């Protein structure tokens, strides 16, 4: 179809309200309008959807848009109906997938057959159904758009087997121009997509993968939860996405954020559709600042002002990482991309691959090795990332990643690179990075021995360095184009022409030392806050003395034993953490909300004045309020006591002994919650004994110590009785 430039701009303004195109959108659209196939590589936020939406509105017939996500289809259809103000705007775009009922499907079919629909979004599974093929055969199709085209390739980060049948189905329905679009595709994936769709002759429109506004950083995953909370609180009011690999971790992290005053919502496939939709809407409408999600969230989500994307778990591939981080800063504004990394996450992902077909395992392992290389590298992250997608970044320092802003130590790697090349040239066949690194480092494992490489002259020539060092040298050789990796052969390393020149005439090359990461597993750490234990000292002795005097004055004023107000460990915590708000005071040992409200104001006033007068630099680390592992037990216990349930029955219900139950109840009352256990004490403790123990704690006890109480009271009382009365006393007097 011939359409003038003026007409095209007129329709752009009429339908979408834009005065100009972005990047190479105009060239792509004109190419498609002329009836040609197109392969579009455009980063997230580049405006891919306009490349097929505008031509669909200009051409006769209906464009078939094949898309993998139901939520994405609905979003795009709703947005189109909003944009396009015509009499037929309610019928101009439809989607066809498993979420529709029979009546809705009939409406879609009617609009299609009447020629009112210009875009039909369809899932690949729905496209291949015989009744849909028959229906689509009977209408005029303007073109096919394959969105998220990387799903076609086994080497892509989100491979969908049903995508491989698209070409076969299109041939059944009837040929028309094809536009394939993706935000991420390595040269290998690009070639795979084109072959599968039978469009090897298509013109490729490749925008730069560089997103200059995005900041990339890899952090050691030693204390991730606290770092995330601290980061979000420092970026108050900004929208962000946190990605986790498991549904369980999504829910745990969302709960932890909410407990710490951050408005967060979980999103994963295990939630029912209504909850998922509500949580997504809360994020889009800014009723929540953070969405914690599995990778299912974000494809095509139209939120341009996401200011940070955090990977709590390391991603499975660099393609996935690039697409997920690409959801930050789509408006060109600030976009911080922070990933937490440790080796245990990699081991977990490798375990997930077990049981899959061998070819799939090989691909998965290679993609994972690329992630490891990226994470552990000290080179410019932007340079590595663009190189992965076949694009060179001309600068040595991007000024917008952790490695460029905080450069690591460098060394002249001429000799090390020569060792790598000598080894490659001496072997009869090519090998992967890890095999070459093991030979140079002198690692004698079963694979090395199977090739007799433990007898190779270069075996162990670099044994002073570990295999990770040699892997880093090889990785940097790839970025410098001295070495090349054959993706078709699962990552075998060979030498490039440029590398052969270097080998013939060596020259100094500056390489960076590899980065080391801890082996800790943040998932196993129930308490993300590390600080001195209560009673362990290490606090400010002057402040501690002042706080004890404040406590004594308040105790005399209220006619209470000092320890009832705050125990010594609580004051020690205050002298370490310098809390200056009631919220911060809650994080001190034994200080719950009730106690903080009742006694805390005087203490934080004194601490604030002390901090100011002495120019105290308060701890930078944010105090994390944890979701207690036994919180469900505590709730059950409080509710059971309210219902006057015998303690023996509570023990039986929660599979604990009496001492464990009293531990829980003591924890509840010491943090400031008031409970009434009179109904049980009247049964378990003699009234006279109860009065004597109660009087002891009120008038004689110097602390809440049970050992001291048992010593002072003598052998006439059972420890359980003393603990019960102490609970009653603290609850009534302190809370």
User: How does pLDDT run across 81-129, given as a tens digit for each residue?
Assistant: 666 655 555 678 888 877 777 888 888 888 888 888 889 989 888 888 8
CA distance 31 to 180: 13
Q: pLDDT-based confidence at 301, cuts 50/70/90?
A: low
pLDDT for 582 equals 86
Res. 716: pLDDT tops 80: no
| Token pair listed for 416 | 């090390």
CA distance 703 to 729: 13
Q: What is the pLDDT of residues 331-354, one digit of tens each?
A: 889 999 999 998 778 777 877 777
CA distance 17 to 20: 9
- pTM, 2 dp: 0.62
Same fold, 5-206 and 214-342+349-393: yes
Instruction: Give the CATH number of domain 5-206; options: 3.40.50.1460, 3.60.20.10, 3.40.50.300, 3.40.640.10.
Output: 3.40.50.300
| Angle subtended at Cα 357 by Cα 355 and Cα 362, rounded to the nearest 5 degrees | 100
Arithmetic mean of pLDDT over the chain:
84
Q: What is the mean pLDDT of residues 227-239?
A: 91
CA distance 276 to 268: 7
Q: What is the pLDDT of residues 146-189, one digit of tens each?
A: 988 888 876 656 677 788 888 888 899 988 999 999 887 788 88
**CATH of region 541-613:** 1.10.150.80
Cα-atom radius of gyration of the chain, to the nearest Å? 33
Res. 418: pLDDT tops 90: yes
Fold of 214-342+349-393: Rossmann fold (3.40.50)
CA distance 724 to 454: 70
| Token pair listed for 467 | 């295999």
Exposed, middle or buried, 258 (CB in 10 Å: 0-12/13-18/19+)? middle
Whether 335 contacts 328, CB under 8 Å: yes
Q: Which residues, 6 or more positions from 231, have their beta carbon under 8 angstroms from its beta carbon? A: 308, 310, 338
pLDDT for 157 equals 60
How far does CA 672 lie from the centroid of its chain?
35
Fold of 631-734: Arc Repressor Mutant, subunit A (1.10.10)
Share of the chain above pLDDT 90, in %: 28
pLDDT for 28 equals 94
Q: What is the DSSP letter of 161?
A: G
pLDDT for 83 equals 64
Strand partners, 182: 41
Q: pLDDT-based confidence at 674, cuts 50/70/90?
A: confident
CA distance 717 to 52: 83
Which of 138, 130, 117 is CA-nearest to residue 56? 117
Range scoring the smallest mean pLDDT among 224-228, 572-576, 670-674: 670-674
Q: What is the pLDDT of residues 99-110, one digit of tens each?
A: 777 888 888 888
Res. 497: pLDDT tops 60: yes
Taking the domains of the chain in order of start, what are their residue ranges?
A: 5-206, 214-342+349-393, 410-512, 541-613, 631-734
Going by CATH, does the domain composed of 410-512 fall within 3.20.20.70?
no
CA distance 448 to 58: 62
Share of the chain above pLDDT 70, in %: 89
CA separation, residue 171 to residues 166, 265, 309, 661 (Å): 9, 43, 40, 70
pLDDT for 530 equals 35
| Secondary structure of residue 694 in the 3-state scheme | helix
Please identify which residue in the block is written with the tokens 């209560």: 534
pLDDT for 525 equals 41
CA distance 205 to 130: 33
pLDDT for 588 equals 80
Whether 403 contacts 377, CB under 8 Å: yes
Whether 418 contacts 503, CB under 8 Å: yes
Res. 711: pLDDT tops 70: yes
Q: How does strand 290-293 pair with strand 264-267?
A: parallel
pLDDT for 487 equals 64
CA distance 304 to 22: 15
Q: Which residues, 6 or more positions from 624, have their beta carbon under 8 angstroms from its beta carbon? A: 225, 226, 229, 256, 260, 528, 529, 587
Res. 671: pLDDT tops 90: no
């Amino acid at each position: 179809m011939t359409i003038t430039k003026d007409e095209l701009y007129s329709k752009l303004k009429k339908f979408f309200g834009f005065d100009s195109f972005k990047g190479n959108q105009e060239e792509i659209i004109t190419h498609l309008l002329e009836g040609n196939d197109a392969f579009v590589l455009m980063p997230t936020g580049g405006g891919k959807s306009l490349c097929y939406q505008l031509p669909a509105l200009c051409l006769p017939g209906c464009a078939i848009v094949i898309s993998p996500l139901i939520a994405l289809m609905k979003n795009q259809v709703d947005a189109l109906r909003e944009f396009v103000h015509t009499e037929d705007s309610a019928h101009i775009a439809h989607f066809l997938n498993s979420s529709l009922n029979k009546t809705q499907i009939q409406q879609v079919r009617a609009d299609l057959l009447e020629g009112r629909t210009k875009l039909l979004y369809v899932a690949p599974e729905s496209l291949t159904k015989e009744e849909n093929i028959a229906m689509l055969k009977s209408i005029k199709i303007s073109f096919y758009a394959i969105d998220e085209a990387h799903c076609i390739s086994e080497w892509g980060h989100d491979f969908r087997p049903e995508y491989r049948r698209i070409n076969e189905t299109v041939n059944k329905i009837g040929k028309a121009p094809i536009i394939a679009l993706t935000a991420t595709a390595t040269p290998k994936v690009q070639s795979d997509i084109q072959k599968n769709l039978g469009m090897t002759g298509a013109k490729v429109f490749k925008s730069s993968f560089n997103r200059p506004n995005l900041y990339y950083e890899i952090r050691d995953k030693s204390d991730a939860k606290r770092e995330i909370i601290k980061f979000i609180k420092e970026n108050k009011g900004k929208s962000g996405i946190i990605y986790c690999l498991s549904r369980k971790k999504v829910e745990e992290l969302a709960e932890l954020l909410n407990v710490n005053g951050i408005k967060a919502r979980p999103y994963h496939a295990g939630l029912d559709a209504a909850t998922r939709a509500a949580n997504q809407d809360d994020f889009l409408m800014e009723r929540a600042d953070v969405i914690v999600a599995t990778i299912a969230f974000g494809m095509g989500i139209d939120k341009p002002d996401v200011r940070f994307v955090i990977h709590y778990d390391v991603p499975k591939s660099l393609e996935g990482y690039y697409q997920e981080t690409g959801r930050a800063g789509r408006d060109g504004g600030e976009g911080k991309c922070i990933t937490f990394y440790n080796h245990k996450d990699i081991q977990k992902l490798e375990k997930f691959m077990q049981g899959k077909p061998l070819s799939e395992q090989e691909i998965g392992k290679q993609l994972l090795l690329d992630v490891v290389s990226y994470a552990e590298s000290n080179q410019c992250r932007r340079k590595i990332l663009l190189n992965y997608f076949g694009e060179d970044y001309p600068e040595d320092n991007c000024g917008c990643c952790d490695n460029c802003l905080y450069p690591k130590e460098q060394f002249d790697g001429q000799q090390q690179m020569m060792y790598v090349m000598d080894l490659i040239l001496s072997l009869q066949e090519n090998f992967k990075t890890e095999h070459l690194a093991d030979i140079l480092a002198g690692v004698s494992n079963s694979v090395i021995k199977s090739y007799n490489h433990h007898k190779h002259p270069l075996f162990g020539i670099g044994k002073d360095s570990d295999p990770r060092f040699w892997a880093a040298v090889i990785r940097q050789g790839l970025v410098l184009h001295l070495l090349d990796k054959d993706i078709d052969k699962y990552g075998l390393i060979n030498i490039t022409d440029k590398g052969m020149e270097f080998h013939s005439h060596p020259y100094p090359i500056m390489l960076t030392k590899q980065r080391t990461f801890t082996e800790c597993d943040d998932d196993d750490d129930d308490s993300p806050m590390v600080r001195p234990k209560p009673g362990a000292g290490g606090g400010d002795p002057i402040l501690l003395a002042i706080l004890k005097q404040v406590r004594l004055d308040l105790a005399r004023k209220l006619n209470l034993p000092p320890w009832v107000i705050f125990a010594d460990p609580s004051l020690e915590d205050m002298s370490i953490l310098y809390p200056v708000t009631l919220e911060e005071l809650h994080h001190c040992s034994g200080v719950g909300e009730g106690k903080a409200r009742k006694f805390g104001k005087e203490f934080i006033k004194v601490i604030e004045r002390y901090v100011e007068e002495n120019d105290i630099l308060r701890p930078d680390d944010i105090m994390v309020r944890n979701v207690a592992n036994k919180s469900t037990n505590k709730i059950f216990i409080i509710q059971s006591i309210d219902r006057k349930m015998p303690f023996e029955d509570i023990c039986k219900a929660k599979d604990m002994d009496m001492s464990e139950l009293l531990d829980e109840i003591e924890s509840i009352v010491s943090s400031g919650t008031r409970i009434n256990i009179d109904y049980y004490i009247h049964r378990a403790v003699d009234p006279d004994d109860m009065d004597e123990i109660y009087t002891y704690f009120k008038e004689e006890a110097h602390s809440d110590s049970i050992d001291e109480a048992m010593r002072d009271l003598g052998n006439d009382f059972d420890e359980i009785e003393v603990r019960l009365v102490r609970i009653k006393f603290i609850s009534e007097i302190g809370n």
